[in-house]
């Protein structure tokens, strides 16, 4: 019988929760959609919104809020600054796959709110342009 010593090993599966959030300004509110479920016969309602962040190269994300109660609860308005927590899922239809980004929490961002820890703060913009002289005697650029 062979004995194998497994020291300092953790074989438990790792569970990681990654909060998916997007902070930005609402730039579009799309037309609401609704219908009746084929399986339950209940009515449903969905509303899509487009949000844009404030990075150097702004990104946009289209997300939806499902359910009349959630749409009313979130009460998202054009131009609002929000942090949207969302889940991503995919579904297949006629041999094609489609992603859906569904919001489950929406928080208003106030102007006085501090940024989350770990988020890099951009440096302040220079207040005055630096003085450059033409024909500088010391040119140490390698090109």
- At 76, give phi and psi (nearest 5°): -75, 130
**Across residues 26-54, what is the average pLDDT?**
94
Q: Which domain holds residue 43?
A: 20-108
Q: Please report whether residue 139 resides in a domain.
A: no
Place of tokens 């041999």: 95
**Across residues 103-132, what is the average pLDDT?**
61
In this structure, are residues 108 and 121 in contact, taking their beta carbons and an 8 Å threshold?
no
pLDDT score of 119 more than 50 = no
Q: Please report whether residue 78 resides in a domain.
A: yes
Predicted confidence at residue 9, as pLDDT, reads 54
- How far apart CA 86 and CA 138 sit, in angstroms, is 54
Predicted confidence at residue 110, as pLDDT, reads 80
Q: Please report whether residue 87 resides in a domain.
A: yes
Q: How confident is the model at residue 44 (pLDDT cuts 50, 70, 90)?
A: very high
What is the pTM (predicted TM-score) of this model? Answer: 0.64
Predicted confidence at residue 49, as pLDDT, reads 98
Q: Please report whether residue 115 resides in a domain.
A: no
The percentage of the chain sitting over the pLDDT mark of 90, rounded to a whole number, equals 57
Predicted confidence at residue 15, as pLDDT, reads 54
**Across residues 55-65, what is the average pLDDT?**
96
How many domains would you assign to the chain?
1
pLDDT score of 120 more than 60 = no
DSSP states of 15-50: ------EEEEEEEEEPPPEEEE-TTT--EEEEEEEE
Tokens standing for residue 111: 């102007």
CATH code assigned at 27: 2.40.50.140
Q: Please report whether residue 63 resides in a domain.
A: yes
Q: Please report whether residue 48 resides in a domain.
A: yes
Q: Please report whether residue 135 resides in a domain.
A: no
Higher pLDDT, 122 or 109: 109
DSSP character for 74? H
Q: Please report whether residue 96 resides in a domain.
A: yes
């Amino acid at each position: 019988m062979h004995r194998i010593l497994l020291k300092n090993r953790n074989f438990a599966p790792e569970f990681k929760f990654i909060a998916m959030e997007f902070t930005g300004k609402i730039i579009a509110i799309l037309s609401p959609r609704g219908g009746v479920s084929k399986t339950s016969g209940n009515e449903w309602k969905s509303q899509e919104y487009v949000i844009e962040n404030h990075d150097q190269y702004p990104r946009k994300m289209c997300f939806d809020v499902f359910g009349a109660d959630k749409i009313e609860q979130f009460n998202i308005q054009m131009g609002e600054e929000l942090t949207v927590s969302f889940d991503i899922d995919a579904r297949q239809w006629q041999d094609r796959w489609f992603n859906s980004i569904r919001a489950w929490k929406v928080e208003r961002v106030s102007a006085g709110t501090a940024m989350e820890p770990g988020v890099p703060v951009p440096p302040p913009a220079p207040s005055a342009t630096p003085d450059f002289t033409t024909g500088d005697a010391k040119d140490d650029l390698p090109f």
